[in-house]
Amino acid sequence: MELWALFLIAQIDSNGLSYEKQIPFDTEAQVYEIDSSFAQKLEFFKDYKGFQKALLFVQPDSSYIIEIYQKKVEGIVKERVKIEPETINRIQQEIGLIKSRAIPEQKYDRSGYAQFLGNSFLFAFGIQSPLVVMGFSPDDSRIGVALYMLSSASGFVIPLMLTKNCDVSKAHSDMFAAGGMHGLYIGGALSGIGDMALYEGGGAFLTLGGSIIGEYLGFQSVNEYGLTLGRGNTIFVISDFIGASSVGALSLFDNWFNPRMNIKHYLGISLAGLGLGIYTGSKVTQNINLGDGDPTIFADFGIAGGAVLPVALSWFDNGRGRISGKMYVSAGITGLVLGSILGYRVIKEKDYSESEGNIITLGGFAGALTGLGLVYIARIEELRAYYTGMVIGDIVGALTTASYIKAGKSNMRTGIHFYLESLIGLGLCYYKDRPFQAQLFRVDF
C-alpha cells in the first residue's frame, strides 16, 4: 500500500514538472511566432527550406527548444531543436535591430476623404472658379473658359496633394465646407462694406480669398481644437443664429420708411454677430458631448421657434397694419432664442446620430407638406393658415418621426407628445367655425 502511494506521488510530481512553457523570441514580449517572411531576415532560419513558422519553448530544466514547422513533400513536418542561451541572445539582438530599423506605419483617419474632395471640387466648380473669372475679367472668352476649367480642376488636385499624409475625418470634411461658406460670406460682406462690386475685380478676389481662408481655418480647427463633427457644426449653427438675430435687432432701431442705415451697417453687424456666435458657440459646447446629428436637431428647434411666434402673432393681426413689421421681427428673434434654448437642452441630454438627425429633418419636411396639403384641401384662402399648417406640420412630423425611430440615446425621459386626432379636429372645427375643446399635446419631463 505504501509503495502504491509513493508511486502515485512520484507520478504527480513528475507530471507537474514536465510541462514546458512557450515564451517570446524578443525581450519586449511581442514576438511569439516567427513567420516565413520574418524568418528570412534572421540568420538562424535561413537554411530551413519550406519554412512555415517557429515557436520557442522553455523546458522545466531551463533549456530552450525551438519548434520549427516546414513544408515538405509529405506535408507539414514539425522539428524540435534544442538550442543554447547564446543562440537565443543572438536571435533577440537580430529582432531588436530589425525593429529599430523598421519605419512605423502611420495610420490616418480617412473616413471623410471622399466627401472632403467632393466638397472641395464642387465648391471650386460652382463658386470659386466663377469668382476667378470675374476677378480677372479677360477680354478673350477662351481665356475665361480656360481659367474656369483650370480653377475647377485645382479644387480637386490641390487638396488631394496637400492631404496625402494627414487625417481627413468627417469632421475635417464638414468644417472645411462650413468654413468655406462662412468665409465666402465674410469676404463678400467686406467687399460690400468697401464699396467693391462682388462680381468684378477686387471684390471678386476678396470674396474668393475669404472662402479659401475659411476652408483652411475650418479644416485646421479640427486639428488645433479637437473639434468633433457634432461640436463644430453646432458652433457654426449658433454663429448663424446670432448673426441673423443681430441683423434683425438692428432693424428694430431703424426707420423702415425713411432708413437711417444702409446695407453697410447691416453687413457690419452681421459680421460682428458671426464672430460673437463663434465665440459663444465654442464656450457653450465646451464641456458637453455632442453627437453627429445634434447640430441638425439644434437647428431644427431654432428655426421652428423662429417661425412659431410670428405665425401665432399673425392671427391677432387684422391685415391692415394692426401689428407692425417690427413686432413680427421681435417675435421671430424671441422665438429663435427660445427654440435654441430648448434645442440646446435637448442635445445636452441626448445624443443623435447623423442619420437620425437627417431622418427627423425629413420627417419635418414631410409634416410641413402634409399641413399645407390639409389647408389646401380645406380651401382656406388666408395666407396665415398656410403658414400655420406648414409650421404645425413640421413640428408634428419631426416629433412623430423622432418617436417612431426612437432617436437619441438618453437615460432621461423628456419630450412633447402631440395628439394627432385632436389637431385634425381643431382644424376641422376652425373651418366649420365651431367650438373645440380637447387636449392637443402633453409635455413629459
* Average pLDDT estimate for 309-321: 85
Domain locations in the chain? 21-99, 291-416
DSSP bridge pairs for 436: none
User: For 331, phi and psi rounded to 5 degrees?
Assistant: -65, -40
CA–CA separation, 192 and 242 (whole Å)? 20
CA–CA separation, 164 and 108 (whole Å)? 10
CA–CA separation, 320 and 285 (whole Å)? 44
Q: Considering the chain, what percentage of its residues have pLDDT values greater than 70? A: 86
pLDDT at 239 over 90: yes
Whose grid coordinates read 480642376? 153
pLDDT at 17 over 80: no
CA–CA separation, 274 and 279 (whole Å)? 9
Three-state secondary structure call for residue 77: strand
pLDDT for the residue 416: 53
pTM over 0.85: no
Q: Which of 50-54, 117-121, 426-430 has the lowest mean pLDDT?
A: 426-430
CA–CA separation, 62 and 127 (whole Å)? 74
pLDDT for the residue 25: 79
**pLDDT (tens digit per residue) in 136-185:** 999 899 999 999 999 999 999 999 999 998 999 999 999 999 999 999 99
For the stretch 411-422, what's the b/e string if a residue is b when 16 or more beta carbons lie within 10 angstroms of its beta carbon? eeeebeebeeee
pLDDT at 347 over 90: yes
